[in-house]
Structure 1
Amino acid sequence: MNFWEKITGSDLTREWKAFETRVEVLPDDYRAAWGRIIAHFFPYGDFTGRNLMPILDAVLGLLEVAAADGQSVHEVLGDDIPGFCAALAGGEGARTYRDRWREQLNRNVAKKLSRLGG
């Protein structure tokens, strides 16, 4: 990826369109599960979501293989899609973008306060 693609996000747009094309051929229940997976994964992403693309590619591959094998989406993902997403993102309690921003804000405030106090 070159600098321009990274700045504009055109590489992400291309990848996302490829995902959408792959999802269109999945059965309805798999497409619905994909939508829920996407919704539960976004809090684990960085500002651009670039860090999630390899994980989402692997999850979509899993769904494609399971659908081709005739498995139900319930057999593949179970009942707990949020838990599935949390496990893939690093386990329960994995840091989300909110956690990283909160930590950064706390460090900046502490730094400013230490300058004022001393």
Structure 2
Amino acid sequence: MGIQDLIEGKKEWRAHQARVKALPPDYRIVYKEMQKYFFKVGPVDLPDGPLLPGIVDFFEEGVAAGKGVLELIGEDVAAFCDGLIKESRTNADVIQESLAGKRGPAGT
């Protein structure tokens, strides 16, 4: 990854953050909690993937439709997050694979 890629990535992240800041307060709170959750357990491709921008798109559509954030995602935010990443390789998967590789055959 070259310096130009880093600069471009930083510009994209700032634009993304500006979109988040433009959301109503309840949407921003839920987005920030989802973001924390995804950074802990989320998909390996989170920084470069379409998940976070897709959530902002979804939230912007909900705002435009006049819906509350919990009307869109339901009361259980973690379950909603889990549903979004159920088919993705997560950080937990990477750790489990790493530990499995260190054990050796038959748990020795």
TM-score by shorter chain over 0.5: yes
Query: Which of 94, 100, 104 is equivalent to 2:94?
Result: 100
Structure with bigger RCO (C-alpha 8 Å, 6+ apart): 2
Q: Give CA deviations for 1:83-113 in whole Å, capped at 9, x if unaligned.
A: 111100026xx653133222223213317x9
TM-score under structure 2 length normalisation: 0.79
Percent identical: 27
Larger Rg: 1
2:83 and 2:7 map into 1 onto residues whose CA distance is: 29
Unaligned regions of 5+ residues in structure 1, if any?
Answer: none
Which residue is equivalent to 1:77? 73
CA RMSD of aligned residues (A): 2.7
1:67 and 1:10 map into 2 onto residues whose CA distance is: 31
Q: 1:10 to 1:83 in 2, by over 3 A?
A: farther
Q: Which residue identity does 2:78 align to in structure 1?
A: P
Which residue is equivalent to 2:53? 57
